[in-house]
């Protein structure tokens, strides 16, 4: 399939762009994570600890994203047993990122509940300075990853974590200002809880997207019935069965189908028309199509699974 090979090359080229941006974003976040973790330990701020924890998952997530992109860049022929290459690794990395961030958020929620009974005194000045630095670093990382998030679920995982961390830094700044002006120490655990609750829905949405790909469900934006009807409308096709549409990885939707042909149908024209329909109407570049004469039985029956 020439089209499928070309599309795979395009995805690998995009992976190179993503890799450069991930390196820059990961390096910035890793450096500042150490600063924020030290400040959280020195000040006893749960909000800073929450932000440092989220930044740690950012760094770890970006590291997994880089590893997945590097592995996926290997040509499919590099291992004869992996005929689709290693594209699915980026989906697994995205799911792992979601699970990590969920765990950090839950930990912060539990710790915040404990602190509500006796909130410690937190130096607001240091909180403010460190959180402002974190906000600047996260804005830079946000800008680096924004374009790639629209193309790759893997980069989207890292991007969502950066958004969560950006919100966390903004929340810490708010808490620091409140504590400095009023001395109300409850602002620290309250902000930590709010940040965790804002991040969880985004994290769960990412996990759902990754699981949808892993269970090989049809892409959310495609209606399988519409795909079937469009293939049935190709001149020379009288029936479509055993149709499967799934996502291999971000930006790579694939399909397979059996097409029953009319007696006078020209095989080459039917295949060209079916591939053109899938490409033009549904952006499906890679399709495996089996054609069979009308009424063919035996081996052309739908699979039992």
The pLDDT score that the predictor gives to residue 292 is 86
Distance CA 29, CA 278 (A): 42
pLDDT the model gives residue 15: 54
Residues in the chain, pLDDT under 50? 1-13, 297-303
**Residue 11: phi, psi to the nearest 5?**
-65, -40
Question: What pLDDT, on a 0 to 100 scale, did the predictor assign at position 72?
Answer: 63
**Is 0.75 topped by the overall pTM?**
no
Going by CATH, does the domain composed of 2-214 fall within 3.40.50.970? Answer: no
For residue 77, the 8-state DSSP code is: G
Q: What is the pLDDT of residues 240-261, one digit of tens each?
A: 999 999 998 777 899 999 999 9
Architecture of domain 224-300: 2-Layer Sandwich (3.30)
- ∠ CA 76-80-81, nearest 5°, is 100
What letter would DSSP give residue 218? P
Domain positions in the chain? 2-214, 224-300
pLDDT value at position 3?
A: 43
Pair 246, 253: CB distance under 8 Å: yes
Place of tokens 């924890």: 53
The pLDDT score that the predictor gives to residue 128 is 92
């Amino acid at each position: 399939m020439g089209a499928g090979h070309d599309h795979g090359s395009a995805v690998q080229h995009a992976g190179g762009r993503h890799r450069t941006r991930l390196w820059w974003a990961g390096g910035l976040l890793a450096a500042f994570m150490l600063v924020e973790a030290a400040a959280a330990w020195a000040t006893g701020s749960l909000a800073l600890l929450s932000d440092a924890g989220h930044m740690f998952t950012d760094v770890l997530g970006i590291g997994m994203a880089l590893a997945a992109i590097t592995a996926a860049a290997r040509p499919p022929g590099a291992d004869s047993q992996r005929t689709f290459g290693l594209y699915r690794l980026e989906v697994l990395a995205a799911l792992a990122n979601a699970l990590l961030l969920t765990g950090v958020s839950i930990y912060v929620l539990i710790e915040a509940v404990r602190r509500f009974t006796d909130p410690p005194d937190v130096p607001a000045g240091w909180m403010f300075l460190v959180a402002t630095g974190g906000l600047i670093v996260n804005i830079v990382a946000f800008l680096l990853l924004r374009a790639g998030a629209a193309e790759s679920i893997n980069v989207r995982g890292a991007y969502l974590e950066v958004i969560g961390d950006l919100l966390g830094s903004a929340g810490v700044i708010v808490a620091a200002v409140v504590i400095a002006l009023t001395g109300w120490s409850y602002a620290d655990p309250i902000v930590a809880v709010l940040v965790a609750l804002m991040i969880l829905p985004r994290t769960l949405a990412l996990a759902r997207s990754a699981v949808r790909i892993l269970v090989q469900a049809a892409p959310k934006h495609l209606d399988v019935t519409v795909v079937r009807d469009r293939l049935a409308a190709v001149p020379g096709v009288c029936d479509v069965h055993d149709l499967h549409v799934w996502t291999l990885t971000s930006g790579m939707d694939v399909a397979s189908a059996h097409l029953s042909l009319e007696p006078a149908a020209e095989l080459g024209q039917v295949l060209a028309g079916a591939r053109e329909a899938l490409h033009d109407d549904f952006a499906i570049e890679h399709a495996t199509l089996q054609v069979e004469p009308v009424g063919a039985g035996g081996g052309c029956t739908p699979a039992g699974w």
